[in-house]
């Protein structure tokens, strides 16, 4: 499968077994986190500027030709809405492993097609990898940290896919959305949970009830 179809993604591998696809997703995520953490430690200790190439989110994609497209009509999830190429980035397989496995199995069984897994372009933002990354650092070093390590791009962290306002750009070589939220948006939500509750997402159960702020 050609790389341009899936945007700027490297090291694409094809999988027909959802469990093996999940293993590769986990491997990519853990390797990216380890690389970023190692670079941060080296930067703080030795002042060495980081090389974060290949430290991106895991990417998963699938392509279904129009001739082979046959969407199950009895299910509203785990299936594609149309033929074409779809993809998304993923985060925290340690938290979402069972969900990812279920969804991969459903979509692969629905369309009898393999998924591809690779490394998305651009490193994972530092605050989504290391909690309180700047704690204990003086102001000058904190500024240097922000210069050399990626930070969340708030302008791109939105709900356009979930809200139905996402505009596809066929000429950009990007796949259509495979999920309502990409990895950076999911990580942002996890960070907000910690911010508002003082509790790591690791300790939450499966469901979170949000209340209206004005009536809380």
pLDDT tens per residue across span 51-80: 999 999 999 999 998 877 877 667 778 888
Q: What's the pLDDT band for 86 if we cut at 50, 70, 90? A: very high
Give CA–CA dist 65/58, Å, rounded. Answer: 24
User: pLDDT value at position 2?
Assistant: 42
Q: Name beta bridge partners: 85.
A: 63
Helix axes 18-46, 139-148, angle to 10 degrees: 140
Structure confidence by residue, pLDDT tens digits, 132-167: 554 455 556 667 788 889 888 887 788 888 887 887
User: pLDDT value at position 214?
Assistant: 66
Judging by beta carbons within 10 Å of its beta carbon (0-12, 13-18, 19+), is residue 97 exposed, middle or buried? middle
User: pLDDT value at position 174?
Assistant: 80
Q: Which of 10-14, 48-52, 181-185, 197-201 has the lowest mean pLDDT?
A: 197-201
122 pLDDT exceeds 60? yes
Strand ranges of the sheet holding 84-89, from the earlier edge strand across to the other edge = 9-15, 115-123, 56-64, 84-89, 176-177
Q: Say what the pTM is.
A: 0.87
Give CA–CA dist 80/66, Å, rounded. Answer: 12
User: pLDDT value at position 82?
Assistant: 86
What does the mean pLDDT of the chain come to? 85
Helix axes 18-46, 93-111, angle to 10 degrees: 150
92 pLDDT exceeds 90? yes
Give CA–CA dist 59/125, Å, rounded. Answer: 15
Q: Among 97, 101, 22, 8, which Cα is nearest to 56's?
A: 8
CB 119 within 8 A of CB 9: yes
Q: What's the pLDDT band for 1 if we cut at 50, 70, 90? A: very low
């Amino acid at each position: 499968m050609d790389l341009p179809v899936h945007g700027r993604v490297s090291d694409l591998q094809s999988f027909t077994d959802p469990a093996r696809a999940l293993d590769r997703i986990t491997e990519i995520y853990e390797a990216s986190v380890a690389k970023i953490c190692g670079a941060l430690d080296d930067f703080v200790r030795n002042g060495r500027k980081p090389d974060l190439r290949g430290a991106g989110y895991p990417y998963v994609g699938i392509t279904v030709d129009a001739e082979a497209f046959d969407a199950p009509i009895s299910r509203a999830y785990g299936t594609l809405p149309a033929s074409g190429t779809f993809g998304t980035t993923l985060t925290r397989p340690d938290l979402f492993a069972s969900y990812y496995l279920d969804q991969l199995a459903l979509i692969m069984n629905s369309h009898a097609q393999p998924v591809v897994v690779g490394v998305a372009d651009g490193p994972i933002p530092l605050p989504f990898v290391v909690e309180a990354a700047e704690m204990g650092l003086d102001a000058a070093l904190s500024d240097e940290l922000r210069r050399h390590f990626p930070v969340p791009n708030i302008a791109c962290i939105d709900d356009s896919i979930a809200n139905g306002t996402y505009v596809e750009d066929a000429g950009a070589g990007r796949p259509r959305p495979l999920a309502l939220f990409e990895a950076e948006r999911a990580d942002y939500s996890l960070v907000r949970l910690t911010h508002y509750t003082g509790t790591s997402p690791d300790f939450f159960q499966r469901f979170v009830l949000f209340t209206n702020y004005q009536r809380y």
